[in-house]
């Protein structure tokens, strides 16, 4: 019987990855479809993908699958054939990373979840069968300039901060489950407008488009394959990008550059910068933006306190962080940063009401 979970230490797995000489492709994909037995489907996936040396993070739920993975180049076609052999995934669009060294993941983790993207929706009448219309890159570029269109960013604030479509509205929240009702509330009275939604790889904006239609909006669209697929299309077609800056991604890279524009600032000194990092103090692990100078000054930490903690003996550091629940520790949750953002939020509402 095959082992259906990894049993090797994380450190050893990282070392194995770094010693690999073959290039890996980093790929993301998702599909909404009914899975009657998610655990059985999960185990089936694990056996097949583990044999192909696939690394990454995959979520399986009754509503479908959501995956961010890497696969050795020599196994790519085998991986594709396996995936397409599953009827519901045949000819599924694969988002291949554009700014990547293939070192994003070092282990395969497949987990069964209640939802493939947490949405907080409890209305039993909600259905993903009625969703918005797909937009390709050229359609997106055209629609963002139309007066009757409102472009809505369905990502978290830290993603929007480093890159977004020009004039896109931010729904200022830390979680997708909060954003859905907020988007409906922010766009009340605009039910006849063209509502164009986008996200990183398409999974959130596709669900958001169905949610908006469920709440009475008439003309709802979403960017097919999200920003990842948009970037690929504009490069292939050599067209100008209406997205500016960097696309935040949820792997070890923490970002793919789409244009040379740097639209955010270091959270410590205010210098122009769009490099996300996690605080090196494992008891904190805060996600924030840090320039090279501050990285050196604070030794990769978010504060003097964390830098001092990092210099303590390991036993003392473990003792300090014992019982600490970091949760979703993101810089913008700091109360010290909430007030400067009020003007941004008020500006969003004024744009909608114009």
> What are the C-alpha distances in Å from 184 to residues 143, 146, 341?
20, 21, 21
Q: What is the gyration radius of the CA atoms in the chain, in angstroms? A: 21
Q: Which of 199, 205, 273, 301 is catalytic?
A: 199
Contact in structure between 247 and 266 (CB atoms under 8 Å): no
Determine the Cα–Cα distance for residues 295 and 297; give it in Å rounded to an integer.
6
Residue located via tokens 């790519």: 76
Find where tokens 């896109």 sit.
168
Contact 298, 268 (CB under 8 A): yes
Nearest in space to 33 (alpha carbons), one of 81, 7, 66:
66
- Give the Cα separation of 343 and 91 in Å (integer): 45
In 3D space, the residue among 143, 162, 139 whose CA is nearest the CA of residue 151 turns out to be 143
Name beta bridge partners: 71: 25
Residue 284 known to be catalytic = no
152 in Cβ contact with 187 (< 8 Å): yes
DSSP-assigned beta bridge partners for residue 67: 29, 58
Token pair of 220, please? 């709802």
Alpha-carbon distance of 205 to 209, in angstroms, equals: 6
CA 251 to CA 109: how far, in whole Å?
A: 13
Could you give the C-alpha distances from 142 to 123, 136, 193, 238, 294, in angstroms and in order?
A: 34, 10, 15, 15, 40
3 state SS of 288:
strand
What is the sign of the dihedral through the CA atoms of 61, 66, 70 and 72?
A: positive
Asked if 153 and 195 touch (Cβ cutoff 8 Å), the reply is no
- Residue numbers annotated as active site: 199
């Amino acid at each position: 019987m095959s082992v259906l979970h990894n049993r090797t230490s994380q450190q050893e797995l990282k070392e194995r990855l770094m010693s690999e000489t073959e290039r890996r492709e980093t790929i993301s994909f998702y599909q909404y479809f009914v899975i009657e037995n998610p655990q059985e489907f999960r185990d089936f996936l694990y056996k097949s993908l583990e044999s192909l040396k696939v690394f990454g993070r995959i979520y399986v739920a009754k509503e479908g699958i959501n995956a961010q993975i890497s696969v050795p180049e020599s196994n790519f076609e085998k991986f594709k054939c396996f995936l397409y052999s599953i009827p519901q995934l045949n000819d599924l669009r694969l988002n291949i990373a554009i700014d990547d060294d293939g070192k994003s993941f070092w282990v395969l983790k497949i987990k069964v979840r209640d939802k493939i993207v947490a949405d907080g929706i409890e209305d039993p009448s909600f259905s993903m069968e009625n969703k918005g219309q797909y937009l390709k890159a050229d359609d997106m570029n055209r629609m963002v300039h139309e007066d009757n269109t409102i472009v809505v960013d369905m990502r978290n604030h830290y993603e929007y901060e480093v890159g977004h479509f020009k004039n896109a509205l931010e729904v200022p929240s830390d979680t997708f489950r909060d954003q859905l009702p907020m988007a409906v509330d922010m766009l009340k009275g605009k039910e006849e407008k063209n509502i164009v939604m986008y996200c990183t790889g398409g999974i959130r904006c596709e669900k958001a488009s169905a949610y908006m239609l469920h709440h009475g909006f008439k003309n709802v669209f979403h960017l097919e394959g999200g920003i990842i697929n948009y970037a690929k299309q504009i490069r292939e077609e050599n067209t100008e990008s209406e997205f500016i800056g960097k696309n935040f991604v949820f792997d070890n890279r923490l970002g793919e550059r789409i244009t040379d524009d740097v639209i955010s600032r270091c959270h410590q000194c205010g210098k122009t910068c769009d490099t996300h990092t996690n605080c090196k103090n494992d008891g904190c692990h805060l996600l924030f933006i840090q320039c090279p100078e501050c990285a050196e000054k604070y030794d990769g930490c978010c504060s003097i306190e964390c830098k001092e903690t990092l210099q303590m003996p390991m036993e003392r550091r473990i003792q300090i962080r014992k019982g600490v629940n970091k949760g979703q520790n993101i810089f913008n949750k700091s109360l010290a940063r909430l007030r400067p953002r009020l003007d941004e939020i008020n500006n969003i509402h004024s744009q909608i009401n114009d």
